[in-house]
Structure 1
Amino acid sequence: MKYQSRDQLQNIAHVSAHPVMDRRQRLERWSKLLERDPNRSLAALAGTEYRPQRERDLMRSEDSPLSVAFEDPVLRGEGLQNDTYGEAKRFFEVSDEQLHEIVCYCHAGERMMASRAAYCVRTAIEGPIFLRVAKAFLGWGKAAYSWVVV
């Protein structure tokens, strides 16, 4: 049996198990998954900005923010194929700079709290100014994002 992605199947069959999430919905779901256990210690990826693109795309780590996303059957059903850097970049439609901010050790050390990763995912959705306003005026992050310096 040959594996085919949802996009490949769309070309030869009508596939409509459920509505497809847009970029924002996928990122929001990922951030909510991370926020379920804000103090969970997650592994960071080492030196994503220094690796050649090919090597970077294959980077992964057990118990990373990427593996949290891949553990979710909904995101896998939407087309998330694995927990590598390259797949996350493709699936969540984020730039190298955005994904670097979410998963690289240079920002958090070898381990990071899930709340930090969630904050960075939300930054990829709205941008940092929105999150500063939300934190200040809407009360986001009084506990979960208390490490954020604004």
Structure 2
Amino acid sequence: MKHHSIEQLQAFAEVRPASPHLPMTRTERLERWAELLEREPERRLGTLSGTEYTPRAARQALRVAGSPITVAFEDAGFRADGLADDSYGEAKRFFDLSDRQLHNIVCYCHFGEAVRGANAARRVRAAIGWWPRIRAFFA
């Protein structure tokens, strides 16, 4: 077998990535996150304490190992799309969620110290809203 560099191959062939990568929409990202959580519906995931009371700057850096956000960060596709870590602020940015929406998914005040994967998935789907889900159903 003879090995060639990409530059050498370009001299006599068109070199393209195996498949073009299309970034996911907000709804697709949230659906994917819910699906990841549903893979282990009984998995107990850590919650973040006091997201509604923590000052904004500190809230952005909040994280807990093994949270619903960690499940998203463990996905190679999400990391390739730009999910940088499993912090509250990064999840808010990446999934385009409001503080209230993310609070409803990961905050201690709703679930105690841990939330089941299935419960977190329901909250993630609720963050999508009705109109995008209705539109997707008929598309």
TM band (smaller chain): 0.7 to 0.9
Partners of 1:115 and 1:77 lie apart in 2 by 25
Identity %: 55
Q: Secondary structure at the match of 2:79?
A: helix
Match of 1:7 in 2: none
Gaps of 5+ in 2: 1-18, 134-139
TM-score (norm 2): 0.79
Deviation at 1:78, TM superposition (A): 0.8
Say if 2:123 is the partner of 1:120. Answer: yes
Report how many aligned residue pairs link the two structures. Answer: 114
Q: Which residue of 1 aligns with 2:111?
A: 108
Match of 2:76 among 69, 73, 76: 73
Residue of structure 1 in register with 2:33 after alignment: 30
* Secondary structure of 1:50's aligned partner: coil
Q: What is the TM-score normalised by the length of structure 1?
A: 0.73
Structure 2 counterpart SS, 1:120: helix
The counterpart of 1:93, out of the listed 89, 92, 96, is 96
The letter of the residue matching 1:109 is: G
Q: Which amino acid in the other structure matches residue 109 of structure 2? A: C
User: Larger radius of gyration, structure 1 or 2?
Assistant: 2
Aligned residue among 33, 49, 52 for 1:49: 52
Aligned Cα root-mean-square deviation (Å): 1.6
Letter in 2 for 1:39: E
Which deviations, in whole Å up to 9, do the C-alpha atoms of 1:57-83 show, x marking residues without a partner? Answer: 000000000000000001111110100
Q: Give secondary structure in 1 for the equivalent of 2:52.
A: helix
Aligned equivalent of 2:6: none
Q: CA deviation at 1:126?
A: 2.3
Which blocks of at least 5 consecutive residues in structure 1 are unaligned?
Answer: 1-15, 131-150
Measured in 2, the distance between the counterparts of 1:17 and 1:73 equals 16
The superposition leaves residues 36-94 of structure 1 with CA deviations (integer Å, 9 ceiling, x where unpaired) of 00000000000000000000000000000000000000111111010000000000000
More RCO (CA 8 Å, sep 6+)? 2
In structure 2, how many angstroms separate the alpha carbons of the residues matched to 1:22 and 1:111? 29
**Offset at 1:17?**
4.8
